Chain A
């Protein structure tokens, strides 16, 4: 940060907070500073995601470390007048501990941050991602300088291997080993590819890193290029991430301008440059072979491995593909050493993992915890427990390729191998929490619907098999399932897993298998009793009014969008089942608990 200022107002510029008008807030802060002639003493900085999206937009004041939550543009004037000018914190914007109802001043002591360890997210929320000097001031580009001036490529690879870093995109392949294989593959031209095609619904860690700390990825790609002997890097990013694209472009340009990218970096003979390629909305392109086909301008269809991209990838040349979060770890490993890094985490999974915590949880946000942290710690301590005091039912990890973990898994230390053993997977790090109101058959159907739509269609097990899985689940949720369907689901899932061409198909039945394992009774209830225990499946439920509780206030009738409820004022109402679309509006409006689902 520029030392000429006395105070800094760090405003979150991540997508979540932007959606809550943090950009308007910033403008207002600047305006009020100017009105008070403070623009040369106090600087407003747009940072990347602080992670605590539930409480966004967030404003952090430095140097006193004040952490304001849910700040609206209307609060700007008060912050300037009270905090900046008079030195008094705006009490109502401070974070309150939900249990003790006490104000927590330092973010380090908040339940949300206490157990976190930020390596990949180290700079998110601290620096202005659009200013390379701020990255450099926090040891930025020191790692690439160390590599190319003091170490041989093989030494860097050895360091990476020793660190135990495994790919954060999902499969967990050892990064150092991948670099070594690519470095040894013969080829006149090689490529470094950064996979930023974050397609998992409910996962936004890569986007937050790119929005909050794009230089860490640029630096790591250069280090990788040095190791494998590539002078060209490509970032494949979703077109749906305009802010991340903009910040990456700025980062690349700034690095080029001061000679950290381009020819003869830092006076050495090492050349490296980066280009951006855009995805166009296809989940399968997160799979590396499909991603490469897409970068070549074709349909994103995966191909059989081997040959692996390390041997024959982009344009048939050896290509090293790593995910954004994997890259973000690299500069820290080089700076602090593999021995520092490999002491964090579990025996086979080193370091930390970023998770996007979402769903029915109090503290939605982006978190980073050491490998080996338990699900209970993540959900109940960091996440603050289940929303509205409801009961925890399941947590889905690994997106459409993962599975649902239940109460019995809560004390499982999270790492690559434990999650696979429990029938799910790490995936890219989406973690969606579900409560008692969620129907697990519908959730399985939801994921299959996604897979069916996103299958590239090249191999039959995935293209046809998943469609059949979806159809079976669909008829179960409509009350038309048979008990034989459960065996059919199991068999078909096994066949798809064994025979599909790429990672997408091989993992797509996981949501079905894991819900069958953990929630078999729910499937049976749907099939045998034509009942949805969570009351989510519309065809299996009926809204009715209990005449004993109904006082005839007409609130339900007035809010029914299809006029299915009739009755005299001050007399019990009735619902016309033929007209009812089961939207649930009536139940939300009834203050007398007179409406129930049968």
Chain B
């Protein structure tokens, strides 16, 4: 992974977050949540600062980041697309919908399109099983998605760029 250099303001921002939680190592997960909320992802350099501040090893921070699926070490696309792979969505054809997204965007799950516009991921149940299969783009939920509607969903966000 490419090495990035954190600016001083960013380092200070991370330190401030740690301080909010009293530099308590028991609050590591909360610190990571908040940091990811600010930076969008958790690259190694950010983890190093957090480890230093909370007084734990970088390995421990990395261990936690890599354990939980909510944390990511690569930046997500501008419009992160998540396909619900909960059982209810699965039996109502989520797999086919996912295949269609993969085909149109030409990326695999966990990847971002070269223009940084879309990233693709799977998630487990958003609790809107009545609308299965469900797709989320950012915060917006699309229900009863069929393979036919995939193109239209993507176009909705591509148009933004033109206008």
Binding site for B on A (CB under 8 A): 15-16, 18-20, 53-54, 56, 199-204, 207-208, 239-241, 277-283, 294, 296-300, 315, 356, 358-360, 364-365, 396, 399, 430, 432, 434, 438, 443, 446-447, 450, 456, 561, 581, 583-585
Contact = CB atoms under 8 A, between A and B. Distances in A.
B161 interface: no
Interface in B69-106: 69-71, 85-88, 90-92, 96, 99-100, 103
A297 B51 CA distance: 12
Given A280-B69, A282-B69, A297-B26, A16 B130 contact: yes
B120 interface: no
A443 B25 CA distance: 41
Interface stretch (B1-9, B27-35, B110-118): B27-35
A241 B32 CA distance: 17
Contacts of A299: 63-64, 67
A201 B124 contact: yes
Given A283-B124, A443-B91, 17 more contacts: A53-B130, A53-B131, A201-B85, A202-B86, A202-B125, A202-B129, A277-B29, A280-B68, A281-B68, A297-B27, A358-B132, A365-B130, A432-B88, A446-B87, A450-B124, A584-B96, A585-B148
B143 A278 contact: no
Contact of B134 (A19, A583, A584): A19
Interface of B: 25-30, 32-33, 60, 63-64, 67-71, 85-88, 90-92, 96, 99-100, 103, 123-132, 134, 141, 143, 147-148
Nearest to B143: A19
A380 B123 CA distance: 30
A299 B28 CA distance: 10
Nearest to B131: A19
A258 B30 CA distance: 28
A15 B25 CA distance: 33
Given A359-B92, A583-B147, A16 B127 contact: yes
Contacts of A399: 87
B70 A15 contact: no
Contact of A280 (B33, B60, B96): B33
B130 A54 contact: yes
A18 B136 CA distance: 13
Contacts of B87: 201-202, 358-359, 396, 399, 430, 432, 446-447
A443 B88 CA distance: 11
Given A240-B70, A280-B70, A299-B67, A202 B126 contact: no
A15 B88 contact: no
A277 B96 contact: no
Which are the 5 A-B pairs with shortest beta-carbon distances? Answer: A53-B130, A358-B88, A280-B68, A204-B127, A201-B86
Contacts of B63: 298-299
A207 B103 CA distance: 33
Contacts of A584: 96
B149 to A, nearest CB: 13
A561 B103 CA distance: 9
A281 B69 contact: yes
Nearest to A56: B130
Contacts of B67: 282, 299-300, 456
A240 B126 contact: yes
Contacts of A54: 130
Given A282-B67, A446-B90, A204 B28 contact: no
Query: Looking at B63, B64, B129, B130, which has the most chain A CB atoms within 10 Å of its CB?
Result: B130
Given A19-B143, A201-B125, A280 B90 contact: no
Nearest to A14: B127
Given A278-B33, A280-B29, A280-B70, A19 B128 contact: yes
Contacts of A280: 29, 32-33, 68-71
